[in-house]
Amino acid sequence: MLGWYLRAGWTIEGTLPATRKFVLMGAPHTSNWDFPVFLGTVEAAGLRPRFIGKDSLFKGPMGGFMRGLGGVPVDRSAPGGMVEQMAAQFALHGEFALIIAAEGTRDPTTRWHTGFYRIAQAAGVPIVCAGPDYERRVGIFGPTIVPTGDYEADMAPAWPFFRTLKPKRPERVLFPDGNDLYGHPPA
């Protein structure tokens, strides 16, 4: 992914925490291109990007490809669920940069998922806010958040950061407060 990222003229800005284990909260997610941009941004920072996929995607010929990209299979029917499975993955690795698109969809939604937060809290790792600026072709690392259990207070620095980014499809961005990228209610 790094070769494509660099050939397409993308660069990175911002800093990562000293730890080599964190959840990267990727947003805004408005295009299929965001996934390779998120992967390339993490790779350009010198880390192997990781992402979650349902275990059925890792069977047969696609399994090696998915793992090669950094995919980590999860069994959604397993007791304990995804949060516990991912916390166990953090415990197994000395370096683990897990990318999660917070919206969980490319469509406009105010219902951003909180799995990234619950995984980081269970694993005892920070959350790094990151996103694409398509206007400048820059993957940007923003604030680092250490989850305390107070989701609203912890996430307060994330929303202003994400509003500074220029997504591929700005009209698809909504935030949990119900407003669009520019802080206005949707039309």
Residue type (1 letter), 99: I
- In the structure, what pLDDT confidence band is assigned to residue 80 with cuts at 50, 70 and 90? low
118-135: per-residue pLDDT in tens?
999 999 999 999 999 999
Location of structure tokens 């790792």: 125
173 Cβ partners below 8 Å, 6+ apart? 28, 30, 108, 167, 180, 181
Q: Which residues sit opposite 49 in a β-bridge? A: 97
22-62: per-residue pLDDT in tens?
999 999 988 989 989 999 999 999 999 999 888 888 888 88
Q: Which two tokens stand for residue 183?
A: 């802080």
pLDDT at 99: 95
Write the DSSP assignment of 58-118 as a string of letters: GSTTHHHHHHHHTEEEE-TTSTTHHHHHHHHHHHH-S-EEEEEETTSSSS--S----HHHH
pLDDT at 1: 64
Backbone angles phi, psi at 157, to 5 degrees: -75, -15
pTM for the full predicted model: 0.90
R_g over Cα of the chain: 16
Among the ranges given (57-61, 103-107, 153-157), the one the predictor scored with the smallest mean pLDDT:
103-107
